[in-house]
Amino acid sequence: DKFSQVIHALPMLSLGNVFSENELLDFNQRIIKTLEKSNINNSQVAYCAEPKLDGLAVSIRYEQGQLVQAATRGDGSTGEDITANIKTIQSIPLALRGKEFPEVLEVRGEVVMPRDGFKRYNQWALEHNEKVFANPRNGAAGSLRQLDSRKTARRPLAFYAYSVGLVEPGHQHQRHSDVLAWLKGLGLPVNHLTEVVCGVIECQKYYQKVGQLRDDLNFDIDGVVYKVDDLNMQEILGFVTKAPRWATAHKFPAEEATTLIENIEVQVGRTGSITPVARLKPVSVGGVTVTNATLHNEDEIRRKDVRTGDTVFVRRAGDVIPEVVKVVASKRPNNSKPFQMPRQCPVCQSELHKIAGEAVLRCPAGLTCDAQLKESIKHFASRKGMD
Ligand code: IVH
């Protein structure tokens, strides 16, 4: 009924953050200064630049080329044994490719739920009265936390390797980018946006380039990561408490903003599912104007206690439907009342049904309900339906 614990052979570290160009310049200067003290004079440090993937960090252990164990990061020194779940992810090899691999290889990386899979899964979940995920990160985390790995197997998950833990006997690579190329050769997925950049100006350019690509990617990222590419330099730079001095995350501005809920309406889906939607005072979130946000279902509204007139945080990630994250309690008007779901279908006035244990209210009228009829025709004529 629970996962067993795994003690990481080498701790899984976290990353420091920079949020501005100035903080990035400071990070780079600190590195140049520290290297100077070791008589390394390098004004243009080479960095391996990578997307900062928004999923769940895992460590996967191969012995004699076979996947033997996989664990979550946990607190960095102890994680949970999720081997059975990790084995269901198709892009993670059960055996390393080729014949030349170390006796022990711990691969570290991020498990993510791709955005297309996330949307498809939530659609399915809605239709089958299963829990929908608020965002792809929760999707990845929730799927790996499944005690029944047959369920994990049905979730759309992907993995990208970004470093190694214990390697025995040690490898001979000089650079982090060489290690990633080596992992790729062994059959492990490495993110295609990974590249080596030289000096802080190229770091900035990389940040801007990836920022522009962000919305079109099939996975969520919340920034980019720069890692000193030279492993010898990494060794000299070392660590502060739990994060390396040789790497940092350059975060994108939050895709969250606050705005006012002007009204809460309900929508009728193709299968009669009733979804509450918040009509918002238009607000720009991560560069896109948002006027509607999904409230998922009655349980979600109750849990977050979202009401008309509330000031709320809204969040969007890529082209995923924006959602209300939470209410700013201090800004609630005095006369506000909890939201009540309607008893009748707003379109055909049929009495709404709720099957015990289900989160979703439904209109039972089927194709005699105009809303369901319209959605059914749209579905029938959609590319997927027609194909
Ligand atoms: S490297 C020693 N690289 O960020 C550095 N982490 O804030 C260890 N993450 O727990 C991490 N993308 O879950 C690294 N390209 C990337 C990453 C990445 C996402 C996550 C990871 C880690 C957290 C640290």
- DSSP letter for each residue of 354-374: --TT-S-EE-TTGGGSHHHHH
Helices 199-213 + 21-37 axis angle, to 10: 140
Does the annotation count 2 as an active-site position? Answer: no
Candidates 375, 361, 368; CA nearest to 275 is 361
- Decide: 361 and 352 in contact? Cβ < 8 Å: yes
Residue nearest to atom 17 of ligand 1 (CA): 52
Ligand 1 and 220: CB distance under 6 A: no
Ligand 1 and 13: CB distance under 6 A: yes
Ligand 1 centroid to residue 52 C-alpha, Å: 7
Q: Which of 52, 326, 354, 384 is catalytic?
A: 52
Token digits of residue 197: 């950049």
- Decide: 66 and 95 in contact? Cβ < 8 Å: yes
Ligand 1 and 163: CB distance under 6 A: yes
Ligand 1 and 54: CB distance under 6 A: no
Ligand 1 centroid to residue 79 C-alpha, Å: 15
Ligand 1 and 57: CB distance under 6 A: yes
Residue nearest to atom 13 of ligand 1 (CA): 57
Q: Specify the residue for token string 């009655």.
A: 298
Residue nearest to atom 12 of ligand 1 (CA): 52
Spell out a b/e string for 74-112, using b for 16 or more CB atoms within 10 Å of the CB, else e. Answer: beeeebbbbbbbbebbeebbeebeeeebbebbbbbbbbb
Candidates 364, 346, 375, 372; CA nearest to 266 is 346
d(CA 150, CA 50): 32
CB under 8 Å to 131, separation ≥6 — which residues? Answer: 125, 142, 359
Ligand 1 and 14: CB distance under 6 A: yes
Ligand 1 centroid to residue 15 C-alpha, Å: 6
- Decide: 79 and 59 in contact? Cβ < 8 Å: yes
Q: Average pLDDT per run of 10 along the chain, which is 387 residues long?
A: 91 92 95 94 94 96 96 95 96 93 96 94 87 87 94 95 95 96 97 97 97 91 96 94 92 85 95 94 83 89 93 78 90 94 96 84 96 96 87
Ligand 1 centroid to residue 258 C-alpha, Å: 28
Residue nearest to atom 24 of ligand 1 (CA): 14
- Compute CA distances 384 → 305, 321, 378, whole Å: 36, 20, 11
Q: What pLDDT is stored for residue 319 in this prediction?
A: 58
Neighbours of 169 (CB within 10 A): 8
Ligand 1 and 244: CB distance under 6 A: yes
Q: What pLDDT is stored for residue 332 in this prediction?
A: 95
* 251-293 confidence digits (pLDDT tens): 987 678 899 999 999 999 999 999 999 999 999 886 678 999 9
Residue 53 exposed, middle or buried by CB count within 10 Å (0-12, 13-18, 19+): buried
Neighbours of 302 (CB within 10 A): 12
Ligand 1 centroid to residue 223 C-alpha, Å: 11
